[in-house]
Amino acid sequence: MSSAFEPGPAAAAIDRAGMWRHIAAFGEQLAREWRRSADLELPLPRGRTPEHLVIAATGGSAAAGDIVAALAAPTSEIPVTVVRGRTLPNYVSERTLVVAVSCSGNTAETLALYDDAWRRDAFIVAITGGGRLAARCEDDGVPVWRFSSDAPPRAAIAHLLAPLLRIVERLGLYLVTGPAVERAAARASELAVDLLAPRPERPDLAALAADLIPRVPLVLAGGHLAPLAERTRNQLAENAKLLAAAGTLPEAAHNLVVGLDAELAPARWSILALAAEHDPAAPYLAALEELAAARGIPVHPLPVPGHDPFEQAIAALVTVDALSWHAAIARGVDPTPIPEIDTIRQRLARLFPAEIST
């Protein structure tokens, strides 16, 4: 685990469980898990390619699937879909590969999707830390990729992202190379330190986080960064206990922007715009910034470094996670506890025979 960054006493007193450690260690973990996933086995006959790839996951376990699906979309010859909830789409069949993903292995929704995939005779592989999902796979003879992490599921994303990247690479759906992963992971490690402890040559993420707090941030991104808008929204909620909204471009430019009322929005909303070099969403973000400025709505650009979509997606992941940490520190709240989710989990435990876990 990276030791290049240490929070000051005030931040350490707030972040008692050490969420910063997981953000700083993401790059190392991604490179390590990518190398380890070379041993991952797929339940497909040699030379067989499925007609669909479905990633069955919920909450923090689904975030990696969203990123991989967006990266693979321009090159994959089959649909790559992330399914949340308890029921698979009707097209899932014996020609589908279902990847059941659950950090805890006890996510009720993912277990239900596993059962649904089993009934449909789909090919199945699981990515999990253990729990009921791993036990069920062992009973059914289904291959399971295990990992070990002491991080909350939302912070264990490297352990999920690496094997999912390995799967789409093995299926020929998206080109991923070892050098590309190592390079992106190394830059992610450097970026994490720079953003957790900002340097003069980089934007002050702590100041940006403080600016977001008085209003509800509307996070906007497009293309391969679209999943990172949702990731930002969820990380601000879970880490900083800060409500946010997310929209995808260009779609948001066709509907959501009409709700930015000139009388109400300036006091209640701000816009956080994720953009990278050669980003296809850039013209939409520029037009939205002009619209927002005319209506007095604060706009906060969040530049994403990287030379290609893969590097940019990895860099954006680290950037928004660090932003959520700074927002938590600015609000004086420990990023790790999630009592609201725990409350819902306890209530739903009476209805479902498995733990509700993100």
Q: Percent of the chain scored above 90 by pLDDT?
A: 87
> pTM, whole model, 2 decimals?
0.93
Whether the per-residue pLDDT at 198 is higher than 80: the answer is no
> What pLDDT is recorded for position 355?
46
C-alpha–C-alpha distance, residues 302 and 276, integer Å: 9
Average pLDDT, the chain: 93
HSE (side-chain half, CA atoms, 13 Å) at 175:
6
C-alpha–C-alpha distance, residues 347 and 200, integer Å: 48
Average pLDDT of the segment spanning 243-247: 97
Contact 296, 266 (CB under 8 A): yes
Structural domains in the chain, CATH included, are: 17-176 (3.40.50.10490), 186-331 (3.40.50.10490)
Give the model confidence (pLDDT) of 293-339 as tens digits: 999 999 999 999 999 999 999 999 999 999 999 999 999 999 999 98
> What pLDDT is recorded for position 345?
78
Give the model confidence (pLDDT) of 249-259 as tens digits: 999 999 999 99
pLDDT band at 341 (very low <50, low <70, confident <90, very high): confident
Token pair in block for residue 180: 């590309």
Contact 26, 318 (CB under 8 A): yes
Whether the per-residue pLDDT at 4 is higher than 90: the answer is no
Whether the per-residue pLDDT at 181 is higher than 90: the answer is yes
Give the model confidence (pLDDT) of 48-90 as tens digits: 899 999 999 998 889 999 999 999 999 999 999 999 999 999 9
Whether the per-residue pLDDT at 275 is higher than 60: the answer is yes
Q: Tokens 């009707």 belong to which residue?
A: 90
> What pLDDT is recorded for position 3?
52
Whether the per-residue pLDDT at 233 is higher than 50: the answer is yes
Q: Percent of the chain scored above 70 by pLDDT?
A: 96
Average pLDDT of the segment spanning 256-275: 93
| E strand or H helix at 52 | strand 52-56
> What pLDDT is recorded for position 29?
97
> What pLDDT is recorded for position 93?
97
| Nearest to 354, CA basis, from 138, 88, 110 | 110
> What pLDDT is recorded for position 327?
97
C-alpha–C-alpha distance, residues 7 and 20, integer Å: 8
The set of residues, in sequence order, having a beta carbon less than 8 Å from that of 244 and lying 6+ positions away, is 212, 216, 217, 218, 219, 232, 233, 236, 237, 272
pLDDT band at 346 (very low <50, low <70, confident <90, very high): confident
> What pLDDT is recorded for position 127?
98
> What pLDDT is recorded for position 250?
95
